[in-house]
Amino acid sequence: MASGKLLRQLIKTGSEGNLSAFREASEQVIRDERDKKHHLLANDLEKILYGHSSNTSPEFSVLNEHLPKDLEKNLPLVQVRNPVRRLEDVVLSGVNTALLDDLFEEYHRIEVLKSHGLRPPDRLLFCGPPGCGKTATAEVVASELGLPLIIVRIDSVVSSYLGETASNLRQVFDFAASFPTVTLFDEFDAIAKERADASDHGELKRVVNAFLQMLDDYEGKSLLIGATNHDGILDSAIWRRFDEVLVFKMPNLSQIRRLLSVKLRGLRRDFDVEDKNIIELFQGMSHADIERVIRRAAKSMILAGKEFLTERLLKTAIQREDARRARQKRA
Ligand SMILES: Nc1ncnc2c1ncn2[C@@H]1O[C@H](COP(=O)(O)OP(=O)(O)OP(=O)(O)O)[C@@H](O)[C@H]1O
Ligand SMILES: [Mg+2]
């Protein structure tokens, strides 16, 4: 919270109708909140004061007009998303939280860095098993920076005629360089893993090399994120091209507890999320699995006309999740 002195100044200047002094005091509050790393609050305050956040986010209509398209099929190579997920909606490890805090601070104070000839990281790699928050965190990064999220559809980039693939990639990189966005190369290994495969088609290898070259040469307005769940496949040549690597893991017990309180927000229940027995029910599941179990249990509760979510409903939903996973393993 802002200091008492600042609050007095804010209310005094506001009630006196002294607009310039009020603005100055408000800007000081925003700076204070940013210094305390309360970026979401600072962004909200900035929006209230100026009607927008200090990031100049491109209009969706402008982005849609310039979307890169597959020349052969005339289909868009990327999806544009308005990010809604916020930092408090995801459960992250301490290391990842610290990395993101630093990243946000560098972007929010980008002008200071630039004046010293420095720039924030603009190439991140997200690794980890499915359902542990890679895509969700990319959305959080975009919303925190007040930028649209662009998801590169690797399947459409790669599966078109091979000769076209490099030119599709070129278009995607040019688009990312021209407009300030967070651009996610989701399942990035669809391009990257081919490099390790000796029986590889020669042209595909050239495409991978072209991709790495584009990543090397990239200097643009967007923050690029590569996401993969096969980190073992990625060779060191790929790792070193990213400024920061965030590793996502299956949740531990304390992360499960935090996840339960996030996902059960607003649901009436007859158990305590701090209860160790409840937390342990979810051990070994990914964040996405846990979310699915809770959604399933909540639906059963509603359809059965019950008022409270119970441990029993959770257990039934977990049994169905286990059966689902067993089927998945056999398939
Ligand atoms: N760390 C997390 N905190 C909160 N919710 C999460 C987290 N991870 C995943 N989820 C939930 O699970 C869903 C799927 O997660 P997400 O798409 O981010 O996984 P992913 O790591 O990108 O998986 P994949 O490798 O399959 O692409 C999300 O929409 C989100 O609601
Ligand atoms: Mg994903």
**C-alpha 324 to ligand 2 mean position (Å):** 20
User: Rounded mean pLDDT of the chain?
Assistant: 86
Q: Using CA positions, which residue lies closest to atom 25 of ligand 1?
A: 130
Is residue 91 in contact with ligand 1, taking CB distance under 6 Å? yes
- Which residues have C-beta within 8 Å of that of residue 246, sequence separation ≥ 6? 96, 99, 100, 124, 125, 126, 127, 137
pLDDT 10s digits, 18-39: 877 888 888 888 888 888 877 7
With a cut of 90, say whether residue 276 has pLDDT above it. yes
Burial call 17-37: b when 16+ CB within 10 Å, e when fewer: eeeeebeebbebbbeebbeee
Q: Give residue 207's pLDDT.
A: 74
Task: State the span(s) of the chain assigned CATH 1.10.8.60.
Answer: 253-330
DSSP per-residue string spanning 22-56: HHHHHHHHHHHHHHTT-HHHHHHHHHHHHSS-SS-
Q: Give residue 232's pLDDT.
A: 67
Ranges of H-type helices in the chain: 4-16, 19-35, 39-50, 60-65, 94-108, 110-115, 134-145, 154-159, 162-178, 189-192, 202-217, 236-239, 253-263, 276-281, 287-303, 311-330
Is residue 127 in contact with ligand 1, taking CB distance under 6 Å? no
Which band of pLDDT confidence, cut at 50, 70 and 90, is reported for residue 233? low
**C-alpha 186 to ligand 2 mean position (Å):** 6
Task: State the span(s) of the chain assigned CATH 3.40.50.300.
Answer: 60-247
Q: How far apart are CA 73 and CA 78, in angstroms?
A: 14
pLDDT 10s digits, 37-86: 777 788 778 777 765 554 556 677 788 888 999 877 788 899 999 899 99
**C-alpha 221 to ligand 2 mean position (Å):** 23
Class of 60-247 in CATH? alpha beta
The CATH architecture of the domain made up of 253-330 is Orthogonal Bundle (1.10)
Chain centroid to Cα 6, Å, comes to: 34
Percent of the chain topping pLDDT 70: 89
**Which residue type sits at 114?**
K
**C-alpha 4 to ligand 1 mean position (Å):** 41
Which band of pLDDT confidence, cut at 50, 70 and 90, is reported for residue 157? confident
Q: Of the candidates 160, 175, 186, which has an alpha carbon nearest to the alpha carbon of residue 214?
A: 175
Q: How far apart are CA 290 and CA 283, in angstroms?
A: 9
Q: Give residue 71's pLDDT.
A: 77
For a pocket test of ligand 1, which of 81, 86, 124, 132 has the largest count of ligand atoms closer than 8 A to its C-beta? 132
pTM of the model: 0.81
